[in-house]
Structure formats: C-alpha cells, structure tokens
Amino acid sequence: MKPVASNKPFKRILLTGAAGGLGRVLRERIKPWADIVRLSDIVDMGEAQEGEEIMPCDLSDKAAVHTLMQEVDVVLHFGGISTENNFEAIMQANILGTYHIYEAVHQAQVKRVIFASSNHTVGYYKTTDYIDAHMPMRADGMYGVSKCFGETLSRYYFDRFGIETVCVRIGSSFPEPVNPRMMVTYFSYDDLLELLRCALFTPRVGHTISFGVSNNPASWWDNRYASHLGYQAKDSSAAFAHKFPNSGAYPVADDITTLYQGGAFLLTGPQYK
C-alpha cells in the first residue's frame, strides 16, 4: 500500500530546546505544520507522541548536531540556556551550540531558521527609549551577549550562504504578566505561535529581526523592519491592568531595574558576584 500523501507544509520541523518553557508550549502547537516534529534537548523530553521524533542532543557536540539536522526542512532554534549564567556555561550552550546549528544547517542545505533571540540583546536601552531593530545592540548580560552573537552569526550565514533567518527578540512569554515590566514586554503564547507562523510561511524573509511582543498599551519596540512578515498581535497585557494599577509610573526613581529595559537582568551577571 502506498503511503497517504500529506498536505502539511513541511515534512520535518526541528525544535531545539523542546523541554524548555517555550519548547513545551510549542511542542503540540506546531504539529499542524509538519508530518514530523523532531524534538531535541539535553534533558528528558518524555515519550514521543504521534507525529514526533525524540532526539536528545548536546548542542556543544558538533557531530551530534550534524546528525540531528538530517532530513530537516526548517529549524525552530529554542535550545540553550535561557537565563543569565556564567560565561563558560553560556559559551557552550548558546554560542558554540548556535554555531553548530548554523553550520549543520548549511551542510544539510536547510533553507530557513527561526532563532529564539531575546529582548536582552537591547536591555541597556532606557525604558524611556523607543527602539527599532536597526539600532545597535546593547546587551544587559552574558545571556544577552550570546543572543547578540546568534543574531550576528545568522546574518553572516545569510550574507554568505543565503540561509534565511527570522530572529525573534522574545519579550516575556508567559501565561500572564507577573510584574509591571511585563505589562510592556508581555508576549502571549498565541501571539508567539502566530509570529512563528508568519516567520515560517512568509515567502521571502532574508535576515529579519522581529520583536516578539503582544499589542500592549505601552511599548519600547518599533517593529517596522519586520512588517513584511505580516504579524499582527491579537492579545494585550491590557487584560491584566487591574493587577498592576501603578504600572504607568515607570521608571521608578533610584531603581535600576525600571530605568533600563533589561529589568532585573541588570542585577545578575559577573559584576555582581
């Protein structure tokens, strides 16, 4: 019997960081886009469900990453350390690991990557600033530095080899805001999925940097240079305004975490050891 032809856009999507906070959110939601979702992480991901492949992988292992990339159509690269940490750990997971991803993408002739970047690439802009993706990066810690590296590396692989990337500078993607800062950076799960859909299915994206954020009442980020993706946020932190009645009083005098967009990340990192 011949296999039934699939009408899904991709045969195989690779999701790195599948056991992470957002990886777990995306695991089920991206299944309509591919016959197979290949899930990868360094920790336990549970049992494979229908339409899934489980492939544990340490991103610092070059050979393992090249094996991981076989027969992949597109990559959602969410793997790595997602909070501030010491440089040695971040170097292995986020810097060396991202290099291995892009080199494997190049060798396997994968045409598009969605790179989970971060708002912490620009965390040292003030909360009174309104910035766009063409302004210089200003990381607020080693984690942010690693994401700056990933954005620069992805640009190189596009310029040199034509590998398209959408870098999503993720704001705060949680079920709801938990502090006044998140009233500005809130990025709902549904809006995250919609931005990924736009990033995957827009015919030509080149090298695009998009701020991942919902349609919140206050904004620090101008997404004009990602307008070709057609992303339109449907959700807003306004629904949670009753929980933070004083969130409009920003920044707060003598509080560095409200003076700069990076928030509490400015209190972490090597300078505070």
Q: Which residues are annotated as catalytic?
A: 143
Phi/psi of residue 39, nearest 5 degrees = -105, 130
Main-chain phi, psi angles of 74, to 5 degrees: -145, 160
Find out whether 20 and 44 touch, Cβ atoms under 8 Å: no
The single residue listed with the structure tokens 């009174």 is: 128
Is there a contact between 184 and 216 (Cβ–Cβ < 8 Å)?
Answer: yes
Tell me which residue of 113, 82, 8 sits closest to 268, measured CA to CA: 82
17 with 68: CB under 8 angstroms? no
- Inter-residue long-range contacts of 37-43, CB under 8 Å, 24+ positions, other chains counted: 37/12, 37/13, 38/12, 38/13, 38/14, 38/68, 38/72, 39/15, 40/14, 40/15, 40/16, 40/68, 40/79, 41/16, 41/17, 41/79, 42/79, 43/19
Secondary structure of residue 100 in the 3-state scheme? helix
